[in-house]
Chain A
Amino acid sequence: MTHDPYDADRPLLMRCSCGQHANAAEHAVAELKHRSEQADVEAESRQFVEAALVKALFPQDALRRRFLKAVGRGTAMAAISSVLPVASLQAMAAEKGPLEKKDLKIGFIPITCATPLIMAHPLGFYSKQGLDVQVVKTAGWALIRDKMLNKEYDATHFLSPMPVAISLGLGAPATPMHVATIQNTNGQAITLAVKHKDKRDPKDWKGFKFAVPFEYSMHNFLLRYYVAEAGLDPDRDIQIRVVPPPEMVANLRAGNIDGFLGPDPFNQRAVFEEVGFIHLLTKELWNGHPCCAFGTSAEFIQKNPNTFIALYRAVLNAAAMAREARNRELIAKVISPQAYLNQPETVVAQVLTGKFADGLGNVKVVPDRADFDPMPWQSMAVWMLTQMKRWGYLKGEVDYKAVAEKVFLLTDAKKQMKALDLAQPEDKAGGYPKFKVMGKEFDPAKPQAYLDSFAIKRT
């Protein structure tokens, strides 16, 4: 079947350039499949995961080299694989245990954050692991939560603070959930209505109405952080509403909201529809911040360890592929059609390639506008917990580290290394790299001091 080339709502499906496929999307699938078979994606994904770990364990290069010299490459790798479930799981997976469950349902929200999870389906990464996966488009985050708690979904696309909140019993009956991988980093933006073109200073935003996708979202925490830095109280000076991402553009057009901190492609879609402009990319607030996650319940992992490993590998392989800039344009073709994001291809391509129109007449090139770094650093979870406390979602004392380590599946580096009788890296390493949010350093070892340092807070 063909589509009307002048229909903005459908990707343009012409015969592809090589002439072997019915349309461009199928061609893109074939090309990406070919690339994934050619390059050893699994080895690549393992490598970048390990490289990221090594870098975190040894922030200084000299230390890393000293360590490697002292213990040797093999021992170092063994130590690292004990830190990260992926690596040890990969070793286990080499034995190819029988899959406990083959037919799986995975939920997703139609946003570019879910790119690895979605593209793994048409590219056959799931079936390669022997899984028959259905990726199911879902109407909103509350529904994702409910379907996960109902066990209608086996695993799902989450907002990364959601598993933390659900595990703590915030906004849901407490059910242990895990973040297996971070799905994407960066890739969000603050979009304002075109009529606010001249109000670029957040100090002028008093009385504005903003939309975020969910209460327990990085979007909510980052927006609150940003306006609070400008001296506005996010609970009193502006209004923040929860609106499912797909409905943000329609609301912006209708004038229901003045802006949103939302996921792509809806920021770019607002620009494309000429109703909004991109005020700033969230990467400018915290470069490398996590956004969405791929997760499941503790129960599912316990009952289906081999299935979980297979699923984990499929998603990690997809993430490795999505990280490469040269694949991005093809990926946009694969995930734009109706079954997945249901967006004009050019909008998705602008998000993924980072060459985009900003809505103010400029073409911007920001290659790391969206990235897919899967490392679930526990310091990220600690930061989320500080923000949940800051805005009163979480009351009373909280054991930051215990929660972070329970939910984010990255076992404590130091403990493992001690068990192996290896030299311990410095305090700040392990699963807790530091990072900066709006220029201010976050030290995961001192969450309370960080929390106390804010002028505007609800505690």
Chain B
Amino acid sequence: MQKSLTFRAALLSLLLLGCLLGLWQLATQGTATAAAPAAAMTPEQIEYAKLMGKPVDAAPATTKSGFPTPAQMGATIGRQLADPFYDRGPNDKGLGLQLAYSLGRVGLGYLLAALVAIPLGFVIGMSPLIYRALDPFIQVLKPISPLAWMPLALYTIKDSAASGIFVIFICSLWPMLINTAFGVAGVRREWLNVARTLEVGPVRRAFEVILPAAAPTILTGMRISMGIAWLVIVAAEMLVGGTGIGYFVWNEWNNLSLPNVLMAILVIGVVGMLLDLAFARCQKWVTYAD
């Protein structure tokens, strides 16, 4: 039963994909303009058509930046995947390299956030006093769009690469902090009482009782943070530029090259999914039955 459900779901997914591609093909195929016969045109008109990149007789037609057909899209994907790691100077790098830059930036900002958020979350979760004292600050800072920090970061940090990492740091901080605090505060009283009865030291109590108990909640926070960080990196790189998948999107947008933008969207989606899957796997490891 379970197997056949999986099979049927996969079939339905494929069917949906097929429909989507079919609709896409239908929507885009009518846009190609036929070559106008040169005989019917004045030299002036021919000249104009050439300058506008339109097909005139045998002259090659330059396709405009319209929405690509699935076939054109496939060609773009093929070309990008054929050579993803080329490096021709600071302004022209392969998609794979750009992705590596983005992942590096996200990784660093995220790691820094984890290093701050998890210990701080522990402290907040274990002490109701600190929890109440810090709560107003967290509530005000949490809803701020991470990109709103960008001008401030550029001004104070005075380094655009570090500003990008800072933006990732600040956006990944809050879900991790709040979830850690929540998880730590929510550890069952009985377990803490047992630990106290057995005269377990505070450090040992934190690592052997509270951490495993709060781990599922903490990991949920980390998973949410990673999702947000991956959303934000694209926008941040479009602002700061230079390298990364966000810069790639921006650079191709300059050229109104929709196939390449779509390609990047696809890659962003797939990588985001893989990151999320990795965290889902981790979550399974730490989950326990009550």
Cα distance A250–B60 when bound, in Å?
A: 25
Cβ A346 vs Cβ B88 within 8 A: no
Q: Which of B89, B159, B253 contacts A150 (CB 8 A)?
A: B159
A143 — which chain B residues lie within 8 A by C-beta?
Answer: 154, 160, 239-241
B256 — which chain A residues lie within 8 A by C-beta?
Answer: 249-250, 269, 273
Cα distance A361–B41 when bound, in Å?
A: 12
Cβ A363 vs Cβ B44 within 8 A: yes
Cβ B154 vs Cβ A146 within 8 A: yes
A100 within 8 Å of B (CB atoms): no
B69 to chain A, nearest CB (A): 12
Cα distance A171–B184 when bound, in Å?
A: 46
A17 — which chain B residues lie within 8 A by C-beta?
Answer: none
B90 — which chain A residues lie within 8 A by C-beta?
Answer: 134-137
A110 within 8 Å of B (CB atoms): yes
B241 — which chain A residues lie within 8 A by C-beta?
Answer: 137-139, 143
Q: Which of A139, A152, A271 contacts B159 (CB 8 A)?
A: A152
- Residues 241-275 of B contacting A (Cβ, < 8 Å): 241-242, 247, 250-257, 259-260
Cα distance A339–B252 when bound, in Å?
A: 11
Interface residues on B, range: 35 or more
Cβ A346 vs Cβ B62 within 8 A: yes
Total residue contacts A-B, CB cutoff 8 A: 111
Cα distance A249–B257 when bound, in Å?
A: 12
B83 within 8 Å of A (CB atoms): yes
Cβ A6 vs Cβ B48 within 8 A: no
Cβ A273 vs Cβ B92 within 8 A: no
Cβ A8 vs Cβ B52 within 8 A: no
- Residues 39-60 of B contacting A (Cβ, < 8 Å): 44-45, 47-48, 51-53, 60
Cβ A150 vs Cβ B160 within 8 A: yes
A124 within 8 Å of B (CB atoms): no
Interface residues on A, range: 35 or more
Considering the complex, give the chain A residue whose CB is closest to the CB of B51: A357
Among A8, A250, A356, the one with the most B-chain Cβ atoms within 10 Å of its Cβ is A8
A7 within 8 Å of B (CB atoms): yes
| Known contacts A139-B238, A139-B240; A346 and B255 CB within 8 A of each other | no
B285 within 8 Å of A (CB atoms): no
B189 — which chain A residues lie within 8 A by C-beta?
Answer: none
Cβ B239 vs Cβ A362 within 8 A: no
Considering the complex, give the chain A residue whose CB is closest to the CB of B79: A4
A1 within 8 Å of B (CB atoms): yes
Considering the complex, give the chain B residue whose CB is closest to the CB of A121: B89
B35 to chain A, nearest CB (A): 13
A136 — which chain B residues lie within 8 A by C-beta?
Answer: 90-91, 242
Q: Which of A6, A146, A356 contacts B160 (CB 8 A)?
A: A146
A344 — which chain B residues lie within 8 A by C-beta?
Answer: 53, 62
Cα distance A361–B52 when bound, in Å?
A: 10
A355 — which chain B residues lie within 8 A by C-beta?
Answer: 51
B17 within 8 Å of A (CB atoms): no
Cβ B91 vs Cβ A340 within 8 A: yes
Considering the complex, give the chain B residue whose CB is closest to the CB of A2: B79
B252 — which chain A residues lie within 8 A by C-beta?
Answer: 9, 342
B61 within 8 Å of A (CB atoms): yes
B79 — which chain A residues lie within 8 A by C-beta?
Answer: 4
A338 within 8 Å of B (CB atoms): yes
Cα distance A6–B259 when bound, in Å?
A: 13
Against B, the Cβ 8 Å flags (1 = close, 0 = not) of A233-248 are: 0000000000000110
Cα distance A143–B48 when bound, in Å?
A: 38
A5 within 8 Å of B (CB atoms): yes
A5 — which chain B residues lie within 8 A by C-beta?
Answer: 60
B272 to chain A, nearest CB (A): 23
Cβ B251 vs Cβ A342 within 8 A: yes
Cβ A357 vs Cβ B52 within 8 A: yes
Considering the complex, give the chain B residue whose CB is closest to the CB of A361: B48
B34 to chain A, nearest CB (A): 15
B49 to chain A, nearest CB (A): 9
B249 to chain A, nearest CB (A): 11
| Known contacts A9-B65, A143-B160; A342 and B48 CB within 8 A of each other | no
Against B, the Cβ 8 Å flags (1 = close, 0 = not) of A54-96 are: 0000000000000000000000000000000000000000000
Against A, the Cβ 8 Å flags (1 = close, 0 = not) of B91-121 are: 1100000000000000000000000000000
Among B48, B51, B252, B260, the one with the most A-chain Cβ atoms within 10 Å of its Cβ is B51
Considering the complex, give the chain B residue whose CB is closest to the CB of A139: B241
| Known contacts A150-B158, A150-B160, A346-B62; A139 and B250 CB within 8 A of each other | yes
B86 within 8 Å of A (CB atoms): yes
Cα distance A8–B64 when bound, in Å?
A: 6
A138 — which chain B residues lie within 8 A by C-beta?
Answer: 241
B63 within 8 Å of A (CB atoms): yes
Cβ A147 vs Cβ B48 within 8 A: no
The 4 closest A-B pairs by CB, nearest first: A339-B92, A246-B254, A139-B241, A357-B51
- What would 18 more interface pairs be, CB under 8 Å, given A9-B259, A344-B53? A4-B75, A6-B60, A8-B64, A134-B89, A134-B90, A135-B90, A137-B241, A139-B239, A139-B240, A143-B154, A143-B241, A150-B159, A150-B160, A249-B256, A250-B256, A274-B52, A346-B62, A357-B51
Write the residues of chain A forming the contact surface with B, with a CB cutoff of 8 angstroms.
1, 4-9, 12, 110, 134-139, 143, 146-147, 149-152, 246-247, 249-250, 269, 271-274, 337-340, 342-344, 346, 350, 355-357, 361-363
12 A-B pairs with CB atoms under 8 Å apart are A1-B83, A5-B60, A9-B255, A9-B257, A110-B254, A134-B90, A143-B160, A143-B240, A274-B64, A340-B91, A343-B255, A346-B53
